[in-house]
Amino acid sequence: MTAALHCDDLPAMQARLAPLLCQCSYAAIALHGPDILLLRAAHATALDDWLQQLLDVLGLQPGPDVLEYRDDRRGVVKRVAWADGRLSGFVFSSSSTTDGPAADSLLQQLQAREQWQGSRLTVFAPAGQRTVVREKIVCQCKQVGENAIRQCLERGDSVEQLKGTLGCGSVCGSCMPEIKRMAASVAQPA
């Protein structure tokens, strides 16, 4: 189990965690930066209600700024919290070794204090896959993305030529206003 949390009163939090940590075969608590509490714990078997008690002490209760992933069959619980659009804490509990890199990645994000980018659901994606930015699809009928259209326009293709080369605008035509705006912006660079 790995947990990390921004905490204003670290000594008080450590005192609240101490009784829980004493129940584990292994437990380590450390500072990660000036106000991030890092907790790692393990036990040979699951302790009754231990994880729920930990979540209560850390204040990671379900709500609009807390997401949870739970797979009871595999014994996986992941809970992540945000405050003011920034990651504020997380708990990853599983016996899987693949969660280590994901937890380390979240710890770096927690320390960076940057605004969360994209969907919060990506927090449960494997490490390294969180920053995938999806291309905007301009033509839904032919699934033509903004990058492909922009490349053709920048090499001098006309809007009519796009219909032949990419197929965009050749079915329903609802993408044509956007394509014409893109063509105008390429023709008149800012």
Greater confidence (16 vs 94) lies with: 16
Pair type for strands 66-71 and 76-83 = antiparallel
Q: What is the pLDDT of residue 136?
A: 85
pLDDT, mean over the chain: 86
pLDDT single digits (tens) 76-103: 899 999 999 999 999 998 876 667 777 8
Report DSSP letters for 121-184, one per residue: GGGGSPTT-TTPPPPPEEETTTTEEHHHHHHHHHTT--HHHHHHHT-TTSSS-TTHHHHHHHHH
**In the sheet where 76-83 sits, what is the strand order?**
26-31, 36-42, 2-6, 86-93, 76-83, 66-71
Quick one: which of 109, 188, 178, 177 has its CA closest to 154?
188
Domains of the chain: 2-124 (no CATH), 137-187 (1.10.10.1100)
Overall pTM surpassing 0.85 (yes/no)? no
Q: What one-letter code names the amino acid at 124? A: F
CA distances in angstroms from 80 to 1, 53, 92, listed in the order given: 13, 16, 8
Q: What is the pLDDT of residue 189?
A: 60
pLDDT single digits (tens) 31-51: 888 889 999 988 877 777 888
